[in-house]
Structures are given as structure tokens and as C-alpha cells.
Amino acid sequence: MANIAAQRIKREFKEVIRSEEVAKCAIKLDLVDNNYTELRGEIAGPPDTAYEGGNFVLEIKVPETYPFNPPKVRFITKIWHPNISSVTGAICLDILKDQWAAAMTLRTVLLSLQALLSAAEPDDPQDAVVARQYKENVEMFRLTARHWTNAYAGGPNANPECDEKIKRLVDMGIEEHQARVALSSYNWDLERATEQLFS
């Protein structure tokens, strides 16, 4: 079976490299080892979303039973999204679980993840905190996602207000990422975030 996996990945690797999405810089695939068991994917944040302008790096592990079982994929770049864990980068997406089909490819996976960035499914959350914010205050969610894209994925849209609040917490001795998580979780309410961090 491992033989089929390597054979398939080799073929898919070429397929992605040649695809038109690569030409448009929308998706990218790199080998991490020479056994075709681990790859590094990259997707561009879709236009007209909070992720626009960001580049998101993915860890792709190919199981021995590939393509009969799906690849194991997670975000390495930190991201604020209801279906992606802001802590571990774990993804909740049906085709990476029971809706996987052996005829699907890594290209399908990358494009589906990109589609997931355009259309979140808050009713099937991976990150409960993000999903709640998405449902209760979608504007706050967009602002936060855009800020994370700027902070971690090289997105162009900086938000001075957010940066200022983070700096206030960093000055109090809080680690930057921890400060960002607390503020993001409390809708950028500095007082409540502080309370939580020091409780």
C-alpha cells in the first residue's frame, strides 16, 4: 500500500505544480522529505475575505494507507477561523474525515481548504470560542481574523487599535501571542482580557 501512496503523491505533486492555481499563486506544494510522506502546503487567503493577502502554511502528513485514507492536514500558520483550532491548527472539514474519497487529491484538499476560508461553517466548529464570536458578532470576528492574518500570515491590513491593546498587555509582562488570544477571545475588551490573564 505504501507503494501506491508514494506513486500517487509523486503524480499529484506534478499535477499541483503544473496546475493553473500555482500559476496564479493561489496554492503551493513542497516536499519536506524524499519519501513523499510529509509535504508542506500553502494557500493564499481568498480575495474579499478577512484572510485576503495572507499566506497560510499547512502541514500535510501522508498515511501509509493513502489514498484510501485521507491525508492528515493542519495549519502551521496561526489563524482565527471557526473550523480551525486557534491553538493547534487542527481542521474540521468533512473531506479530511468521513467524506474523503480515494479519487480525491491533495489539490482537492488545498482548494477545499481555501473554500473553507471563504465560507466558514460555524455550526460544525473546531474552535468553540471563535465560532461563538462568529455567530454573535460577525464584525468583531472579521476584525479579529484580519488582525491575525496581519500578525501571522503577512496580511497587509494592520489594525493600530488592536496592536496598541496588545502592547499594553505586553508591557505588563504578558507574552504577545497570549495577549492576542485573550483579547481576541474577549472581543478586544482590554479590561476583561486583563482580568482573565491575571486571575
Partner 1 sequence: MAASQENESDMDFSDNDCYDYNNYYNDDDSDVEHVDPMKVDPEYFEYRCLSEEEVERLLNESVESLSNCLRISPTLAKVLLHGHHWNSNEVIRKYKDNPSQTIIWAKINPPSPQSIMTSNYYTCPVCVTPQHVEKFSHLPCGHKFCKDCWITHFEVQINQGISTSISCMAKDCVVLVPESFVLMHLQHKTNIREKYQHFVFQDYVKSHPELRFCPGPNCPIIVHSREIKAKKSICEQCKTAFCFRCGCDYHAPTDCQVIKKWLIKCADDSETANYISAHTKDCPKCHICIEKNGGCNHMQCYNCKHDFCWMCLGDWKSHGSEYYECSRYRENPNIAHESVHAQAREALTKYLHYYERWENHSKSLKLEEQTLEKLRDRINEKVMSGLGTWIDWQYLFASANLLAKCRYTLQYTYPFAYYMDAGPRKELFEYQQAQLEAEIENLSWKIERAETTDRGDLENQMDIAEKRRTTLLKDFLDV
Provide the annotated active-site residues. Answer: 92
178 binds partner 1 (CB under 8 A): no
Nearer to partner 1, 101 or 138 (CB): 101
Residues 4-23 that bind partner 1 (CB under 8 A): 4, 7-8, 11
Cβ contacts of 61 within 8 Å, gap of 6 or more: 37, 38, 71, 72, 73
- The count of chain residues that interact with partner 1, using the rule CB under 8 A, is 14
The three three-digit cell numbers of residue 45, written as one number = 487567503
Chain centre distance of CA 181: 15
Residues 48-77: x where in contact with partner 1 by CB under 8 A, - otherwise, as a string: -----------------x-xxx--------
DSSP result, 42-62: EEEPPTTSTTTT-EEEEEEE-
The three three-digit cell numbers of residue 174, written as one number = 504578558
Nearer to partner 1, 3 or 199 (CB): 3
Cβ contacts of 18 within 8 Å, gap of 6 or more: none
43 sits in the region (left: phi over 0; alpha: psi -120 to 50; else beta) called: beta
Q: Which residues of 172-199 are buried (b: 16+ CB within 10 A; e: fewer)?
A: eebeeeebbbbbbbbebebeebbeebee
Least Cβ distance, residue 18 to partner 1 (angstroms): 15
Least Cβ distance, residue 130 to partner 1 (angstroms): 26
Nearer to partner 1, 4 or 90 (CB): 4
Q: Classify strands 72-75 and 55-61 as parallel, antiparallel or unpaired.
A: antiparallel
Nearer to partner 1, 108 or 178 (CB): 108
Instruction: Kindly tell me which residue out of 55, 108, 159, 178 binds partner 1, with binding defined by CB under 8 A.
Output: 108
User: Which CA distances in Å does 25 have to 13, 20, 89, 140?
Assistant: 15, 9, 22, 29
Residues 134-153 that bind partner 1 (CB under 8 A): none
Instruction: Kindly tell me which residue out of 48, 103, 173, 191 binds partner 1, with binding defined by CB under 8 A.
Output: 103
Residue with cell 497587509: 156
Least Cβ distance, residue 99 to partner 1 (angstroms): 9
104 binds partner 1 (CB under 8 A): yes
Nearer to partner 1, 95 or 129 (CB): 95
Q: Which residues would be at the binding site for partner 1 (CB under 8 A)?
A: 1, 4, 7-8, 11, 65, 67-69, 101-104, 108
